[in-house]
Amino acid sequence: MSRQNFSALSLLWRGLSRHGGWREQWRKPEPKAAYDAIIVGGGGHGLGAAYYLAKEHGIGNVAVLEKGWIGGGNTGRNTTIIRSNYLFNESAALYDHSVKLWEGLSQELDYNVMFSPRGVMMLAHTVHDIQVFKRHVHANRCNGVDNEWLEPEQAKAFCPPLNISSDIRYPVLGAALQRRGGTARHDAVAWGYARAADALGVDIIENCEVTAIRRDAGGAVEALETTRGVIRSHKVGVSAAGHTSVIMAMAGVRLPLESYPLQALVSEPIKPIFPCVVMSNTIHAYISQSDKGELVIGAGTDAYTSYTQRGALHINMHTLDAICELFPNFRRLAMLRNWGGIVDVTPDRSPIIAKTPVPGLYVNCGWGTGGFKATPGSAHVFAWTMARDQAHPINAPFTIERFRDGYLIDEAAAAAVAH
Partner 1 sequence: MLIIVCPFCGKRPEIEFTYGGQAHITRPERPSELDDQAWAEFLYMRSNTKGIHAERWRHARGCGRFFNALRDTTTDHFVATYRIDEPQPQIEQPAEPVPPP
Q: Provide the minimum distance between the beta carbon of 266 and partner 1 in the complex, in angstroms, as a whole number.
A: 22
Size of the site for partner 1 (CB under 8 A): 25
Query: Which of residues 259, 282, 290, 364 is near partner 1 by CB under 8 A?
Result: 259
Q: What part of residues 300-319 is at the interface with partner 1 (CB under 8 A)?
A: 303-308, 310, 312-314
Q: Provide the minimum distance between the beta carbon of 255 and partner 1 in the complex, in angstroms, as a whole number.
A: 7
Nearer to partner 1 by Cβ, of 222 and 258: the residue is: 258
Closest CA to 238 of 406, 56, 42, 416: 42
Query: Which of residues 155, 257, 265, 326 is near partner 1 by CB under 8 A?
Result: 257
Task: Choose one: 33-41, 251-259, 268-276, 322-330; the region binding partner 1 (CB under 8 A).
Answer: 251-259
Query: Which of residues 72, 256, 269, 293 is near partner 1 by CB under 8 A?
Result: 256
As to burial, measured by CB atoms within 10 angstroms (0-12 exposed, 13-18 middle, 19+ buried), residue 148 is middle
Report if residue 280 touches partner 1, rule: CB under 8 A. Answer: no
Draw the binding track, 215-244, toward partner 1 (x: CB under 8 A; -: no contact).
----------------------------x-
Draw the binding track, 184-213, toward partner 1 (x: CB under 8 A; -: no contact).
------------------------------
Report if residue 299 touches partner 1, rule: CB under 8 A. Answer: no
Closest CA to 164 of 147, 179, 149, 151: 151
Residue 249: count of CB within 10 angstroms of its CB: 12
Single-letter amino acid code for the residue at 379? A
Q: Provide the minimum distance between the beta carbon of 406 and partner 1 in the complex, in angstroms, as a whole number.
A: 8
In sequence order, what are the residues at sequence separation of 6 or more whose Cβ sits closer than 8 angstroms to the Cβ of residue 150?
Answer: 121, 158, 174, 175, 176, 177
Nearer to partner 1 by Cβ, of 98 and 346: the residue is: 346
| 219 vs 252: CA distance, rounded Å | 11
Draw the binding track, 326-355, toward partner 1 (x: CB under 8 A; -: no contact).
------------------x--x--------
Nearer to partner 1 by Cβ, of 257 and 391: the residue is: 257
Q: Provide the minimum distance between the beta carbon of 313 and partner 1 in the complex, in angstroms, as a whole number.
A: 6
Task: Choose one: 91-99, 103-111, 129-137, 400-408; the region binding partner 1 (CB under 8 A).
Answer: 400-408
Nearer to partner 1 by Cβ, of 259 and 290: the residue is: 259
Query: Which of residues 134, 403, 410, 415 is near partner 1 by CB under 8 A?
Result: 403
Report if residue 246 touches partner 1, rule: CB under 8 A. Answer: yes
Closest CA to 74 of 203, 187, 184, 198: 187
In sequence order, what are the residues at sequence separation of 6 or more whose Cβ sits closer than 8 angstroms to the Cβ of residue 331?
Answer: 324
Provide the CB-side half-sphere exposure for 150 (13 A, CA).
Answer: 24
| 38 vs 26: CA distance, rounded Å | 17
Report if residue 255 touches partner 1, rule: CB under 8 A. Answer: yes
Nearer to partner 1 by Cβ, of 34 and 408: the residue is: 408
Nearer to partner 1 by Cβ, of 31 and 73: the residue is: 73
Given the rule CB under 8 A, which residues bind partner 1? 243, 245-246, 254-259, 303-308, 310, 312-314, 344, 347, 403-406
